[in-house]
Structure 1
Amino acid sequence: MLKKAASSLIQRNMVPKLKLTETEQQICRLLKDYTSEYNKSRALSEPLELRITGGWVRDKLLGFNSHDLDIAVNTMSGEQLALEINDFLRRNHESCGITPHSIHKIDKNPEKSKHLETATTKLFGIDVDFVNLRSEEYTTESRIPVVAFGTPKQDALRRDATLNALFYNIQNDEIEDFTGTGLEDLNKGILRTPLPPLQTFLDDPLRVLRLIRFASRLGFVIDPDTYKAMQDPEINKAFGIKISRERVGVEMQKILQGPNPLLGLSFIQKAGLDNVIFSWHSDSAIIHYNRENTDMSKAEKAYQELGRHIELVLEKLPVLLEAFPLLQEHWKNAPVFKQNFILGVIFAPFRGIKIVWNPQKLMNKETSISESIVKDGLKLGRNDAELIAKCVESHVEYNDMILRYESLSRSDIGLEIRSFNGDWELAHLVNLALAYCFDENSLGQYQNFYQFVFDQNLQNSHALKPLIDGKTLSKQLNIKPGRWMGGVVAEMVKWQMDNPGSDEKQVLEFVQTILPNYT
């Protein structure tokens, strides 16, 4: 559908005209007026030119609304341009219809892909970034380039994909394609690098993930030569040397929460990048400690199995999505659920494997490797990491419960559901997907169990509270609060699960029968 949308706007050998919103027209009119005044008041060897860069042109051609306005300037810094425009507005605010807004300078931050200072301000209610055109040169040790002022073509060629290198010249009201293939590639739905792909990716391996993200978001194909370069062993090495785990995590989060995460995952798996994308840690001291002091053979074997397991999941999961409306609904409407579900399923080879996450601690210094991948490898939130790890580690026990649930007590099932702290449904679907990958006939048993949970009103077991709170219990038993209370309350909750509809008097009678075990 996206390719058709692009094709309807881009005809062969024709440069399309963009249809601007009213606000975009106001911004461009203001910038034209400022540029015209600036150029007329100065004798310049190179006149000032302003261009909208980045993904705005691409998205406009695809029919998407975009508020990502990056203005590139050819003869001054972004901060200087923003200050000049603010001065212009102070002098012309009545005719322009707006007053100057505060300017926020964003300093260089190479670890977050900010290689030049950028100035941002608000025009007609839209955040607008200003930066100068630039060229970049890289070393073999870092993805952080040496940056200098550049020409429009140099700025276009340094970008990750030709279709992301299209500019909109504000003065001329026209699209500029300095790579020569950006419009055609957008028309055909092809992602390729402006310069030779291997060197482009070695300069900055993060571009690999960005192209994969665009392919999965837009449903585009990756040019064969470009994809071949992604598979080069040197790219695999460069990921570990040049890219921060935070940047990997940002791109992976966008892929996994995007419209087609399985396509993105397929590109990663077939390129043999799963081992570096899902690295379990980035701290060299932690990695060295584990290699020297723990048995990492199971982890190494799991990484060898990871690619094959992902391939199996990619084969089975689309079929499961079609067959299981509940999973479809979550998949479409809950991006974070979708992300955690996918990670919970593909990390199955890491089940039962632990690493030392803090050698300095005496206690609780180990964690599951799946939790470490999410928290330290992908830099996602701690809650997500713990939940995904719980899903991964629970499979054998959970699957056993599914097979035997008709012979289990109500509390056996309720306590298992309770252990997921409100995320039981995610755990159920993760375990269902894993079981389905290896035995398609297991789907019926999982569906039957799911219905049983709701029939028994156990789905909210995590929210079940004891009918008598600890303070009241202590008072009624005339016993001071102490260690006994934790065990008694836990047994109260279990008893209530097995005796739904019971009242406080019945609970207290039960407590009195077990109290000698705790006091």
Structure 2
Amino acid sequence: MQQLLRIAPVIDDLGNLFRAEGHELFLVGGSVRDALLGSLGHDLDFTTSATPDETHALLRRFTPSTWDIGKDFGTIGALKRADGQEWQIEVTTFRADIYRSESRKPEVSFGDSIDGDLIRRDFTVNAMAVDVATRAFVDPYGGLDDLADGVIRTPSTPERSFSDDPLRMMRAARFASRLGFIVADEVVRAMTDMAERITIVSAERIQAELSGLLLTDSPRAGLDLLVRTGIADYILPELPALKLELDEHHRHKDVYQHSLTVLDQAIALEKDRGHEPDIVNRLAALLHDIGKPVTRRFEGSKVTFHHHDVVGAKLAKKRLRALNYPSAVVKSVARLIDLHLRFHGYSDGEWSDSAVRRYVRDAGDELERLHILTRADCTTRNQQRANRLRRAYEELEWRIDELASQEEIASLRPHLNGDQIMEVLGIGPGREVGQAYAFLLEHRTEHGPLPEDEAVELLRQWWADR
């Protein structure tokens, strides 16, 4: 009731508008769930008996800021400013959507009752409503009990619910992680039996749901549920492939569990270092070892994964593109996976200036993310080794800061630019300019900055030696 009173300036006026025209209006779904959990924000979801056109007309009387981008799905949006606050509102006509077996998109149809609308919703904890006019609480499918018990259950049978929209199987995993709830046994069985049905859902919707899961505070439980039910085999097969069969002597750790732990640790480091949830960080942490299954070799008593960083970067690119992730995300994740072992080439020795410059140069804009991934990748139970790796990486970050205070290393450039190179050598654009540029950049990385006159002499000597 405290939550409802807090939003009363919005819902009272809106409710009176709809009621005066003979329409029902309910606060619904996630808004009711979050109100019951004491965490209702400024995004309010409603459902109504009014048609989309009727809803739009009423909302225009309520606020000048409205939009109908979701009209084909029965949804009209609005922005309302009241008492110094902004409220984002979505009002959807009672729905009765279904998927046909061969379709990738829902077939939209409108319902005629609140109970019919709620039974079509994904889970009981999202199938509760409050009548805006009377404040009557509507909970025909036991959502309040499931919310109290911490259980994810469907209003209708899970088979019917997942047949209507297979993406709900992934949503069950997201809510399990977001709310820390247990998924009911019958829901898990249906997810397992119907896993292949996820293939009719578009890549864009799968990507959005996967990102939503990864961006929760604790995605591990949801990801493990997707693997256990077989859904991951269709949307992210590289993840269950990490469950390598352990040999009898346990010569390598469980790569699957290691990857989930790295994700946990990357999320903790994000928070510790003051960052917002970052999908690039989390995808890189989850997928950093996906090259291991195809590179695993047994060499005597030792197991190896040579070049799994390079192979993993290529596999990540292919999978993320298939999921229609933005090209910038794909590029960043692949680069991080490709670089995630770079630190270990220096971890047992002292960092020279040239090694520091090369590390920073290769990381480029991904340096902070590489710091997080590399630190998170230490999951050894050997405390002595863990402490040694942590100290070594702290030394690297200290050396980067120290060198950065003396010279520009964040965006390394050669001693001379292309125009200067052509002027010194008396040549025009061509391959030789690129070769000279690469030579000067490598020298800058290895030895540090030079005064311009010395750089000119170095370039002339290189040219003469050719």
Measured against the shorter chain, the TM-score band is: 0.7 to 0.9
The answer to whether structure 1 residue 37 and structure 2 residue 12 are counterparts is no
Partner of 1:101: 64
The answer to whether structure 1 residue 244 and structure 2 residue 219 are counterparts is no
Partner of 2:399: 455
Matched residue SS, 1:135: coil
Q: Is 2:169–2:191's contact at 8 Å kept on the other side of the alignment?
A: yes
The answer to whether structure 1 residue 274 and structure 2 residue 232 are counterparts is yes
Partner of 1:362: none
- Within 2, Cα distance between the matches of 1:301 and 1:249? 17
Partner of 2:40: 65
Mark the CA change 1:30 to 1:132 in structure 2 (over 3 Å): closer, same or farther: same
| Deviation of 1:423 (Å) | 1.0
Partner of 2:74: 117
Residues 431-483 of structure 1: per-residue CA shift (max 9 Å, x gap): 55446469873662464155135325467745122333222333344443432
| Deviation of 1:514 (Å) | 1.2
- Within 2, Cα distance between the matches of 1:32 and 1:445? 60
Partner of 2:249: none
Matched residue SS, 1:142: coil
Q: Is 1:347–1:392's contact at 8 Å kept on the other side of the alignment?
A: no
Partner of 2:446: 498
- Within 2, Cα distance between the matches of 1:491 and 1:343? 37
Q: Is 1:350–1:370's contact at 8 Å kept on the other side of the alignment?
A: no
What letter is aligned with 2:34? D
Q: Is 2:422–2:429's contact at 8 Å kept on the other side of the alignment?
A: yes
The answer to whether structure 1 residue 472 and structure 2 residue 420 are counterparts is yes
- Within 1, Cα distance between the matches of 2:398 and 2:288? 24
Higher relative contact order structure (alpha carbons within 8 Å, sequence separation ≥ 6) = 1
The answer to whether structure 1 residue 132 and structure 2 residue 93 are counterparts is yes
Q: Is 1:58–1:163's contact at 8 Å kept on the other side of the alignment?
A: yes
| Deviation of 1:306 (Å) | 11
Identity of aligned residues (%): 23
Q: Is 1:78–1:117's contact at 8 Å kept on the other side of the alignment?
A: yes
| Deviation of 1:61 (Å) | 1.4
Q: Is 2:380–2:386's contact at 8 Å kept on the other side of the alignment?
A: no
Partner of 1:210: 171
Q: How many residues align?
A: 433
Partner of 1:401: 345
Counterpart pick for 1:444 among 388, 393, 409: 388
Partner of 1:507: 455
Partner of 2:3: 19
TM-score by length of 1: 0.73
Counterpart pick for 1:221 among 182, 191, 194: 182
Q: Name the Cα RMSD after superposition.
A: 3.5
| Deviation of 1:247 (Å) | 0.5
- Within 2, Cα distance between the matches of 1:428 and 1:177? 48
**1:360-439 superposed matches below 5 A:** 368-377=314-323, 379-395=324-340, 398=342, 401-403=345-347, 405-406=349-350, 410-412=353-355, 414-431=357-374, 433-434=376-377, 436=379
| Deviation of 1:399 (Å) | 5.7
What letter is aligned with 1:252? L
Bigger Cα displacement from structure 2, 205-214 vs 500-509: 500-509
Q: Is 1:402–1:449's contact at 8 Å kept on the other side of the alignment?
A: no
Q: Is 2:18–2:58's contact at 8 Å kept on the other side of the alignment?
A: no
| Deviation of 1:373 (Å) | 0.9
The answer to whether structure 1 residue 161 and structure 2 residue 123 are counterparts is yes
| Deviation of 1:244 (Å) | 0.6
Counterpart pick for 1:264 among 217, 222, 230: 222
- Within 1, Cα distance between the matches of 2:5 and 2:178? 24
What letter is aligned with 2:451? D
- Within 1, Cα distance between the matches of 2:259 and 2:373? 11
Q: Is 2:320–2:330's contact at 8 Å kept on the other side of the alignment?
A: yes
Residues 351-390 of structure 1: per-residue CA shift (max 9 Å, x gap): 779xxxxxxxxxxxxx92210111222x222122122222
The answer to whether structure 1 residue 175 and structure 2 residue 175 are counterparts is no
Q: Is 2:159–2:190's contact at 8 Å kept on the other side of the alignment?
A: yes
Matched residue SS, 1:64: coil
What letter is aligned with 1:244? S
- Within 1, Cα distance between the matches of 2:344 and 2:399? 20
The answer to whether structure 1 residue 51 and structure 2 residue 10 are counterparts is no
Counterpart pick for 2:57 among 64, 77, 83: 83
- Within 1, Cα distance between the matches of 2:103 and 2:426? 68
- Unpaired runs of 5+ in structure 2? 247-253, 297-312
- Unpaired runs of 5+ in structure 1? 1-16, 40-47, 90-97, 110-115, 280-298, 354-366
Partner of 2:272: 329
| Deviation of 1:326 (Å) | 5.1
